[in-house]
Amino acid sequence: MYRSRPKGDLEPESLNFMSSVKVDNKIAAYDILGTQAHAIMLHEKGLIDLEALKLILYELRMLLQNPKVVEILGYEDIHEALEAHLIKKLGIEIGGRIQTGRSRNDQVILDIRMMARDELNIICSKLITLVEGILVKAEENLDAVLPLYTHLQQAQIGNLSHYFLSYSDQLFRDLERLSIAYKGINKSPLGSGPVGGSGLPLDRNRTAQLLGFEGLIINSIDATSSRDSLLEVMSALSITMITLSRMAQDFILWSTQEFGYLEIADNLASTSSAMPQKKNPDPLELIRSKTAIIMGNLLTSLTILGSLPSGYNRDLQDLKLVFFSTLSIISSTLSISDAIVRTLVINKCHMKQVVHDSYANSIDIAEQLVVRKGLAFRTAHRFVGSLVKIAVDKKLSELSRVSEIDIERMTAAISDDLKVKDVVKILAEMTPDKLLLLRSSTGSPNPLQQKAMIKSSRIQLQRNMKKLLERREHLKNADDNLRNVTSSYLKKMQKK
Amino acid sequence: MYRSRPKGDLEPESLNFMSSVKVDNKIAAYDILGTQAHAIMLHEKGLIDLEALKLILYELRMLLQNPKVVEILGYEDIHEALEAHLIKKLGIEIGGRIQTGRSRNDQVILDIRMMARDELNIICSKLITLVEGILVKAEENLDAVLPLYTHLQQAQIGNLSHYFLSYSDQLFRDLERLSIAYKGINKSPLGSGPVGGSGLPLDRNRTAQLLGFEGLIINSIDATSSRDSLLEVMSALSITMITLSRMAQDFILWSTQEFGYLEIADNLASTSSAMPQKKNPDPLELIRSKTAIIMGNLLTSLTILGSLPSGYNRDLQDLKLVFFSTLSIISSTLSISDAIVRTLVINKCHMKQVVHDSYANSIDIAEQLVVRKGLAFRTAHRFVGSLVKIAVDKKLSELSRVSEIDIERMTAAISDDLKVKDVVKILAEMTPDKLLLLRSSTGSPNPLQQKAMIKSSRIQLQRNMKKLLERREHLKNADDNLRNVTSSYLKKMQKK
Amino acid sequence: MYRSRPKGDLEPESLNFMSSVKVDNKIAAYDILGTQAHAIMLHEKGLIDLEALKLILYELRMLLQNPKVVEILGYEDIHEALEAHLIKKLGIEIGGRIQTGRSRNDQVILDIRMMARDELNIICSKLITLVEGILVKAEENLDAVLPLYTHLQQAQIGNLSHYFLSYSDQLFRDLERLSIAYKGINKSPLGSGPVGGSGLPLDRNRTAQLLGFEGLIINSIDATSSRDSLLEVMSALSITMITLSRMAQDFILWSTQEFGYLEIADNLASTSSAMPQKKNPDPLELIRSKTAIIMGNLLTSLTILGSLPSGYNRDLQDLKLVFFSTLSIISSTLSISDAIVRTLVINKCHMKQVVHDSYANSIDIAEQLVVRKGLAFRTAHRFVGSLVKIAVDKKLSELSRVSEIDIERMTAAISDDLKVKDVVKILAEMTPDKLLLLRSSTGSPNPLQQKAMIKSSRIQLQRNMKKLLERREHLKNADDNLRNVTSSYLKKMQKK
Amino acid sequence: MYRSRPKGDLEPESLNFMSSVKVDNKIAAYDILGTQAHAIMLHEKGLIDLEALKLILYELRMLLQNPKVVEILGYEDIHEALEAHLIKKLGIEIGGRIQTGRSRNDQVILDIRMMARDELNIICSKLITLVEGILVKAEENLDAVLPLYTHLQQAQIGNLSHYFLSYSDQLFRDLERLSIAYKGINKSPLGSGPVGGSGLPLDRNRTAQLLGFEGLIINSIDATSSRDSLLEVMSALSITMITLSRMAQDFILWSTQEFGYLEIADNLASTSSAMPQKKNPDPLELIRSKTAIIMGNLLTSLTILGSLPSGYNRDLQDLKLVFFSTLSIISSTLSISDAIVRTLVINKCHMKQVVHDSYANSIDIAEQLVVRKGLAFRTAHRFVGSLVKIAVDKKLSELSRVSEIDIERMTAAISDDLKVKDVVKILAEMTPDKLLLLRSSTGSPNPLQQKAMIKSSRIQLQRNMKKLLERREHLKNADDNLRNVTSSYLKKMQKK
């Protein structure tokens, strides 16, 4: 760094404390691309001549093939290192022009936004893949009955297909949030100077277009100092992680010996160095803890920003750090989640057995008493409650085993109209498979509904894929264009 | 609560620990409206007869005028209390039908969503008012020059209008996020039962329509168990608070004796019980700390959800609590922010003096050397840096006071072409007012640009107002419709 | 407030936003006591005369009986309200002397510290009660075998007594942390003025002694501006909550139908409005979510302080708010935890059955192969692993059911020395009860060890009780003394 | 890992997601030491023979010199990698004995505790150095008057020495908390097995003694599953970071052009790539943001634990990660803080000027009116307030410039006894230097007091150094002893 004002060099310890070069490798390539676009615009606006442009573009093209060539040791960040590299190669008269009308403050947030676009596209792609896997599982498990839980107590009878669809629905909303966050990210801050713009005739729309952005963050203070679009991404990703973590939590419980509904594949499970019988669902546990890390990162970012004055402050460097960490963690978590879902070993028989040996059909029985016998729901609820008490006391595994005598005693207490035989009939009929077919309200676990839900989810998935494809195309086109523009300038040199 | 399974009543201490009735007053009215819609639908689907419907609707209409009539002591929540009230008034045969096909699990999230819609509309309305106030300030301060800061050091010369516009731009994005979050909220979960839907022929679209929702949360597990839409609201509000907090932080600094750029109005300031000379900007400090509370609330919510199994768990009650707290805090913070902005006392003269006595025009000088004399930016940067050093050493208040002899010494070191008189000319010309007019890059502090920005911001504000108005209209229409449908059913009774 | 500098009164909205009077009811009594001590010291140092002292002490004694008499509406805080009350009653010539050498900045942190002492003593007392309850359970369940879990998979066989003791041990450390935090709290800030002390001859040690403090926070900036002692309390309480939450999490799992190890008492459980068969462990879930609130409060406090400049800033008011919230939540959580533990219904038979039908004795079998047959542990681990595989494939409920033929096949692969009959013998002997008696390493689940642990825990509990009693005595003595000093001054008046 | 139960190997992606080997390099050396101690104990208890012990100790001693020799690729953690290494070198018959009576669950927390002891000692040492530096500054600045701030408004006149001492006092409490946390850390979990201890005759006290621990975490569930001692460390370090961050925040403000009280040394400051005049206090800003990271880490840890069931769960691996991160960040932050403090450039003249041109002596004037003229403080406060109003209106830089006529008008409104000349005299006398000498209350900024405070702080510092030295001695002695015991066993081999 050209240290105009402070005397002497930075203490090594201080430099080490301050430097972000170690994490800047994630944005090095974007810094080079941004520099290409900036140089081209400078030339087009008459701020550097063709010769300088060509030399700069040539060096940058070399670097793009191997960004590691840039010497980063001794620099505070990649931007400084890149300029130093160009000056070393081209001399200050040429290389010293690259920061014309540009500051590290608009440059770093440019790089972050470019990087975030690509990462968000990868993340969305992985999310789509995961949803696909979940839909496959939903289809495979249309016939898998299991208890649904509230308060972790058996609540109602459901089916596993419906359960999986509840997660694909959540993930669709996560996808939607990320698509919106993408739009917020996809605006160019370049040309905002350190905080108050530039007195040079920069063309901000040109660099934005060369780099594939759709629009500008106009106000230069806003562009260099705000990070709300990053917070929006981190919030959306935190919510996504919670979706994944809650599914993982279910699977952890369901893969206990006690629940026994499923197992993760052997080649994803861990074992014990001490206990030979163990098969541990470690990746599921780590999804849970990674969620806590993502939350910690979000909090760190909010805290950094919460009382930061306007304008760039160095604190933002650490926000960059945790932002990168979050993108990286979510990406690997999505991959492992997908691997887990696709290879889940599901124990349908055991689920079915559990459902049969439960009182989870109580509400269905009560509802049938409402429908068929006209009981007030509260009355029906109380009546079934009394049957449950008997069943518990007598340790009966299902309500249909309550004796007619006991039923008679209970019906008498409720209503003259309620006949024992009617109750017996309802009890007998409320088997898992049958009662699910009665679940007619929209969104209920009823295999017929699930089939329709899967179908419409597939359509929704297609829509999401298409949207993602378009975003990628747009970026690719911009990349191609930048390469072509660069080449055409470089050819001009060769003609000379 | 009809305690079918557990014997005996709840311990008072336990009830007290568990009950949410104290905060449920915020949703009592919505619970009544939701119950009206549910009852109408039940009747329309043949699940309760006209007589029962009329009695229930009549009671609910009474209650709506004074929800506090509902006895809440001794109940776990408002839903239980409301049913108990109806049973007390109408008997179990009528009142006991109101929970037909409904559970507290779909009911509570219905209420929260209805409440959140109204609160979000109020918040958006306050945000719009605040933006309006900021635009007024931007207009009033087109001529107010001040230093812009990075690292809290004077960086570039700017104008206050541009500063204010950086905040209206941020708040527009906050508004946008809240509008999107509103859409996520505005979907009906009603009819999802406890977790697995219902075996009764409920018409979920009908209740959704009666309550003004645009669509359903379809999957019943998702509808009762997910809270991502609330997290989305809380994230968006956290980001909004950070916008407000950063502005507050600037104002706190600027109202120190040392900066002296502005003061908050006397009737918003606090004083000291001990030090007679004090005028403290307490509301600004509290905006900062309220932001920390909002962040704590967000964290609490994320933590509650992070490892929660599917299905309703009682933990969600505490998420409700902090969600309400967040809505309430943001609302009062927006009001106070608006009051502060509109009455800010701005000390333009002092700002101007500070700008004059600073080196904050250094970059403009360097840029002019690039434009006029063709220097490489890095060379110009070094050269101006050397002038700064001289000025610092000689304690000169501005760079234009550097002597020609010193300038000559420095130009000689840089380039033969750089003439002293050219430098002197540039130094003399780079006065705050003139240099701002040279800031031509989009989004720079240049009064001409600010005028255009204000104009386009006003248009954007209109668009936001219109959108909000439409949302409110939609809710109002649904309200009117529900009242009409209710009245028409009640009239049927009177005819009898 | 006497608003010397800002003109006019506070806007009501601003006052409402800023005022802390609503939460200050928690410290009103302490504010009065502190004012008594301060007045006495002022008199003793010749800063107010006897007459004024007597009038002030008289009013304060009245107020102490009913602090609600103080009009708080229209004031920013209790300190302002109290002074206004005294001035209203006694005129400015007397009442206007009470803030001599005192500021709200040293006053508020005095009150908080006094309040925190009492609350911490209550919390410690409740913790002691809870530990007592846990020790009772540990004693009752010396014979209750159950699987211990890692990764929520059955790991080793243990006993419930040992499990309970793991929690009393954790709670002892929590108690220890709170005792240390108490010492940090128990220092007086009074006499530090607004930030820079006072030019009056205050006797800080005298007020500290009158209020039962052990020492001063000496430096006046530190005394008025630091809150690390509150953070220490909040951290310690967060850790305590985590202890309680993890126990709650275990109990939630263990009270599922699938685990079935225990139930919370009926009168602590909640039920369902929809599903008659439900018995939900709601208080346990709320312990989990309250923990998240406590964590949110801690975060809010850390965030408030993290970038706060030195000296009192109004942000600290919100730290006070969440500090009070934390103290209140922990207190009710401890009560409910104690109620839950003492009334837990434990299903020893079922636990025993589960243990019998498990492979959780695998490690004990491996260890016996090490001890008796000299196998390397890794070899033994592999060998038992192979038995487990057979048992899983053949769906055998215990390892002792593996056939001799299969064992023979496996031993052959390991070692010539390993005889089938030896293996069979070990398998047969490794029953839950027997193997626990072999667990000889310190701290293992072995009923003999548990008996000793319970005994030593009881002694430790006594020590904690004694320590708490001493703290309470000390405070009570100070209270009595302050009352006596006050009375003796008031009697001087009566003599006149 | 010997995968007894799950079939096949781990998927590489899964292994990568799960493995902690990358961070385990921080504990590799401790894992080796712990293994030495464990092996010695196993031999002493007859569980492995001398020959095996010697071979194992020999390998471990080699490894200790270069822990990187252990192949970590393909392993889940360092523990697994170390065993694999020993088996590869010594065969399963010898190497396969090292996990006898040991699990990764007690092993990992042993390593963390050993590592934390050393890191805490380093951190405490750096804290002591920092306090030393602060005391030097306190001594150098006994004569530096400056305004003290509340609400960031000039409040009272103080001196910089007193300011520095407020931070050394805080840091002493931080040191105290870390010393206590050290005790919590310094207990051995080794010998607890996976969760339920071991059936082998392990001597836990022997390994604890060999590794320099003072006592055991007795209960085996507690030992393997609790992390409260780590949370205690992280809480204490968070509070320490807040101390550092608040000081940094003050320095950031004070090094603005507007405050101008100090500058950080040039070789610690950063500059701007765009603005030649900039000297930015970047390390101070990064101290602020690192504090946010530390808070995020604490939150992550609390969240991970909050709802974790008893027993080791893989989530704890990520807690290890953020624990290491926290230790590393605090360590570098302390170094940079020390470097900053020791080289601070303090502008005493400017501070003095600011103090002179302020109303910050208002409270002193009011107090003198109380002392000398017997005014009620509130009356004096009002009176001085009225002088301030005049001074503000007339733009007078100090209160002593208020004209006698104005004073007369004001005194008349207050009291007949208050003479203008008395007021004038007090106003004239209340110069910064004089009034500080009147600050007699304990802990006030009064150079005479500061001298005493510095003296007693130096004594306190000595006490802390001594305590730290003892801890280090204890660890060193244990290290030496372990080395000697090892050597003596290895010599037995050579004799053979």
Q: Does C322 touch chain B (CB under 8 A)?
A: yes
Mean pLDDT across the stretch A320-339?
A: 96
Residue with tokens 């000498």: D437
How are beta strands B153-159 and B145-150 bridged, if at all?
antiparallel
Place of tokens 């900045």: C105
CB A108 within 8 A of CB A79: yes
**Is there a contact between C469 and C476 (Cβ–Cβ < 8 Å)?**
no
Q: Are the C-beta atoms of A244 and A291 separated by less than 8 Å?
A: yes
Q: Which chains have 3+ CB pairs within 8 A of D?
A: A, B, C
Check if A8 contacts B (Cβ < 8 Å): no
State the pLDDT confidence band at C143, using cuts at 50, 70 and 90: very high
Phi-psi region of C444 (alpha: psi -120 to 50; beta: other; left: phi over 0): beta
Report the percentage of chain C scoring pLDDT > 70: 98
- Using the beta-carbon criterion (under 8 Å), do D155 and B275 form an inter-chain contact? yes
Residue type, D343: T
* Predicted confidence band of residue C310 (pLDDT cuts 50, 70, 90): very high
Residues 40-99 of B with CB under 8 A from C: 76, 79-80, 83, 99
Beta strands in A223-362 (DSSP E): 262-263, 345-346
**DSSP-derived secondary structure for D438-451:** H--STT-S-HHHHH
- Across the interface, of C105, C193, C310, the residue whose CB is closest to D166 is C310
Task: Retrieve residue A326's tokens.
Answer: 């979050």
Among chain D residues, the shortest Cα distance to A293 is held by D300
Interface-testing mutation among C146, C262, C277, C384, with chain A (most A C-beta atoms within 10 A): C277
For chain A, percent of residues with pLDDT exceeding 90: 87
User: Over 90: is that where the pLDDT of A272 sits?
Assistant: no
Looking at residue A493, its pLDDT comes to: 60
* D318-347: pLDDT as tens digits: 999 999 999 999 999 999 999 999 999 999
| Residue B446 to residues A192, A206, D77, D276, D277, Cα–Cα distance (Å) | 13, 21, 59, 22, 22
D10 in contact with A, Cβ within 8 Å: yes
Q: Mind listing the pLDDT tens digit for each residue in C250-270?
A: 999 999 999 999 999 998 998
Give the nearest chain C residue to B104 (CA atoms): C273
Number of H-type helices and E-type strands within chain C: 19, 4
How many other β-carbons are positioned within 10 Å of the β-carbon of residue B29?
18
Say which amino acid occupies D229: S
pLDDT in tens, C321-353: 999 999 999 999 999 999 999 999 999 999 999
Our answer to whether residue B162 is catalytic in this structure is no
Q: Which chain A residue has its CA at the smallest distance from B438's CA?
A: A199
Of the candidate ranges B66-70, B175-179, B422-426, D377-381, the one whose mean pLDDT is the lowest: B66-70
Q: Which amino acid is at D155?
A: A
Average pLDDT, chain B: 95
B108-159 residue pLDDT tens = 999 999 999 999 999 999 999 999 999 999 999 999 999 999 999 999 999 9
**Average pLDDT of span B35-59:** 97
Mean pLDDT of chain A: 95
- CB distance B99 to A377 below 8 Å: yes
Q: Which residues of D touch C235 (CB under 8 A)?
A: 231-232, 235-236, 238-239
Q: How far is A435 from chain D (nearest CA, A)?
A: 35
Strand, coil or helix: what is D163?
helix
Span B76-97, pLDDT tens digits: 899 999 999 999 999 999 999 9
Return d(Cα C108, Cα C35) in angstroms, integer.
11
Cβ count near D125 (within 10 Å) = 17
Confidence of residue C2 (pLDDT cuts 50, 70, 90): low
Q: How confident is the model at residue A184 (pLDDT cuts 50, 70, 90)?
A: very high
Give the pLDDT confidence score for residue D11 in this predicted structure.
Answer: 75
Which residues in chain A (325-384) have CB-CB distances under 8 A to chain B? Answer: 363-364, 367-368, 370-371, 376-379, 381-382, 384
Q: State residue D354's pLDDT score.
A: 97
Q: What is the pLDDT of residue A496?
A: 46
Segment A294-306, tens digit of pLDDT = 999 999 999 999 9
- Flag whether residue C162 sits within 8 Å of chain D, measured between CB atoms: yes
Q: What is the C-alpha to C-alpha distance for residues B160 and B139, in angstroms, rounded to an integer? A: 9
- Determine the pLDDT at residue D330: 97
Partners of residue C278 in chain A, C-beta under 8 Å: 150-151, 153, 155
Binary contact (B277, D253; C-beta < 8 A)? no
Residue B496, pLDDT score: 46
Q: How many CA atoms lie within 13 A of D203 on its CB side?
A: 16
Please report the pLDDT score of residue C493 as a whole number.
59
Can you tell me the mean pLDDT for A112-129? 98
What per-residue confidence (pLDDT) applies to D298?
98
Provide the annotated active-site residues of D: 151, 272
- Given a cut of 50, the residues of chain D with pLDDT beneath it are 496
Render C439-486 in DSSP notation, one character per residue: --STT-S-HHHHHHHHHHHHHHHHHHHHHHHHHHHHHHHHHHHHHHHH
Closest-CA residue of D relative to B150 is D280
Nearest CA in chain B to A189: B443
The pLDDT of B393-398, averaged and rounded, is 92
Considering only A20-24, A187-191, B30-34, which range has the smallest mean pLDDT? A20-24
Nearest to A310 by CA among B431, B254, B126: B254
Tell if the CB–CB gap between B280 and D151 is shorter than 8 Å. yes
Which sequence positions of C are flagged as catalytic? 151, 272
d(C-alpha B386, C-alpha D93), whole Å: 74
> Which of chain D's residues have a Cβ under 8 Å away from the Cβ of C209?
none
Which is nearest to A280 in space by CA: A258, A264, A260, A261?
A264
Chain C within 8 Å of B271 (Cβ-Cβ)?
Answer: yes
**Between chain A and chain C, how many beta carbons pairs sit less than 8 Å apart?**
117
Coil, strand or helix at D366: helix
Q: From the CB of residue A288, how many other CB atoms can be counted at a distance below 10 Å?
A: 25
> Tokens 């008289």 sit at which residue?
C58
In sequence order, which ranges of B345-446 are alpha helices (DSSP H)? 348-356, 362-373, 377-393, 404-414, 420-429, 432-438
Touching A (3+ Cβ pairs <8 A), the chains are B, C, D
- In A, minimum Cα distance to D281 occurs at A314
Q: Identify which of A368, A379, A377, A369 has the alpha carbon closest to the alpha carbon of residue A438.
A: A368
Q: Does C150 touch chain A (CB under 8 A)?
A: yes
pLDDT of amino acid D276: 82
Contact A197, A220 (CB under 8 A): yes
Could you tell me where the beta strands, DSSP code E, fall in B119-207? Answer: 145-150, 153-159
Q: What percent of chain B has pLDDT over 90?
A: 88
Q: Which helix (H) or strand (E) holds D145?
A: strand D145-150
CB contact under 8 A, C199 and D389: no
Q: What is the pLDDT of residue B73?
A: 85
> Do D246 and C305 make contact, defined as CB atoms within 8 angstroms?
yes
Residue C290 has pLDDT above 60, yes or no: yes
pTM equals: 0.97
Compute the average pLDDT of residues C457-483: 98
Backbone Cα Rg of chain D: 31
Which residues 278-307 in chain A show a CB within 8 A of chain C? 278-282, 285, 299, 303, 306-307
Q: Using one digit for the tens of pLDDT, what is the confidence trace for B396-418?
A: 999 999 999 999 998 988 877 78
The pLDDT of A315-326, averaged and rounded, is: 97
Token pair recorded at residue C151: 């990764």
CB atoms C11 and B268 under 8 Å: yes
Q: What is the mean pLDDT of chain C?
A: 94
Which positions in chain C touch A306 (Cβ < 8 Å)? 303, 307
Contact list in B for residue C319 (CB cut-off 8 A) is 289
Chains with 3+ CB–CB pairs under 8 A to B are A, C, D
* Angstroms from C379 CA to nearest CA on chain D: 7
User: H-helix or E-strand containing C175?
Assistant: helix C160-185
pLDDT band with cut points at 50, 70 and 90 for residue A292: very high
